[in-house]
């Protein structure tokens, strides 16, 4: 059974059918791409998957568990984490604190022990710090752990967003245009990072991307969205050679 199964998903905004009859199926540990022209509804689908929007039709199943109707927090706890098209780090917090926020639901102690510093506070905070440092090391950010997030260079901010999302312990990682605004060097490095995350964390990854070099380089399967509907799906090679897809992207 596929890890993520979405069937006939749809949502309207006013009179606009933003997403209609959308289906996708992503296997465990697959690297899957969602592409399409601007305004096709890709980010809307991410917002539906994470519970930011409620679909008016269709089902979303993660590992067989229904996600429709859950709120964003419960969906995150169930195992879907994401990054954002326009980076949304907690900019005035340190790099490590951003990751610690991601670890929020995995370590706990009472508020009173946080105020009065009971031993449980020190013990759990130490665990949180160690876990956060491990994640930062994976992304080569351990040197910068005490920097403000806003002071990181752009490429590293993107990496930190991925680290923060991974900290929440997801089964499925959604990356919304991870290569946006990157130069070819940074994009190359990012491709390595994404592959590394998939291999080392045994992560299933669904990504939205416009950069065809990245898409053709790392995605194993693709779904093309146009005007809120699926235009084509299949393996990356098939889809990118599909005349319909070429037409939608480049015109005739």
Given the rule CB under 8 A, which residues bind other proteins?
Answer: 50, 52, 72-73, 76-77, 81-82, 84, 88-93, 97, 100-102, 104-105, 107-109, 111, 114-115, 121, 124-125, 128, 164-165, 167-168
- Cβ-based burial of 229 (10 A; exposed 0-12, middle 13-18, buried ≥19): middle
DSSP state, residue 182: -
Distance (Å, whole) CA 228 – CA 125: 45
Distance (Å, whole) CA 185 – CA 42: 25
The least CB distance from residue 250 to other proteins, in Å, is 32
Q: Which residues pair with 80 in a beta bridge?
A: 172
The least CB distance from residue 49 to other proteins, in Å, is 11
| Identity of the residue, 83 or 223, whose beta carbon is nearer to other proteins in the bound complex | 83
The least CB distance from residue 15 to other proteins, in Å, is 22
What phi, psi does 128 have (nearest 5°)?
-60, -45
The least CB distance from residue 213 to other proteins, in Å, is 28
| Identity of the residue, 67 or 89, whose beta carbon is nearer to other proteins in the bound complex | 89
The least CB distance from residue 130 to other proteins, in Å, is 14
- Cβ-based burial of 125 (10 A; exposed 0-12, middle 13-18, buried ≥19): middle
- What tokens were used for 53? 């929007």
The least CB distance from residue 94 to other proteins, in Å, is 10
Provide DSSP, 188-212: HHHHHHHHHHHHHHT-EEEEE---H
| Identity of the residue, 74 or 238, whose beta carbon is nearer to other proteins in the bound complex | 74
- What tokens were used for 60? 């979303």
| Identity of the residue, 109 or 227, whose beta carbon is nearer to other proteins in the bound complex | 109
Distance (Å, whole) CA 221 – CA 238: 9
| Identity of the residue, 72 or 235, whose beta carbon is nearer to other proteins in the bound complex | 72
């Amino acid at each position: 059974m596929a890890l993520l199964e979405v069937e006939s998903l749809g949502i309207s905004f006013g009179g606009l059918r933003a997403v209609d009859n959308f289906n996708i199926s992503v296997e465990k540990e697959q690297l899957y791409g969602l592409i399409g022209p601007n305004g096709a509804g890709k980010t809307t689908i991410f917002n539906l998957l994470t519970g930011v929007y409620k679909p008016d039709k269709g089902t979303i199943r993660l590992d067989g568990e229904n996600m429709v109707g859950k709120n964003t927090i419960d969906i995150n706890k169930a195992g879907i984490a994401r990054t954002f098209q326009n980076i949304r780090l907690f900019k005035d917090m340190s790099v490590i604190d951003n990751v610690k926020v991601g670890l929020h639901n995995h370590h706990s102690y009472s508020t009173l022990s946080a105020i009065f510093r009971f031993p449980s506070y020190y013990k759990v905070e130490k665990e949180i710090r160690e876990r956060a440092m491990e994640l930062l090391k994976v992304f080569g950010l351990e040197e910068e752990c005490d920097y403000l997030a806003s002071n990181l260079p752009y490429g590293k901010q993107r990496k930190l967003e991925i680290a923060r999302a991974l900290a929440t312990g997801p089964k499925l990682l959604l990356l919304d245009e991870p290569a946006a605004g990157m130069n070819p060097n940074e994009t190359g490095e990012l491709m390595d990072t994404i592959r590394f995350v998939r291999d080392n964390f045994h992560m299933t990854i669904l990504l939205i991307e416009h950069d065809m070099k990245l898409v053709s380089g790392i995605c194993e399967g693709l779904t093309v969205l146009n005007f809120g509907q699926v235009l084509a799906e299949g393996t990356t090679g098939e889809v990118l050679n599909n005349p319909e897809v070429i037409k939608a992207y480049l015109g005739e």
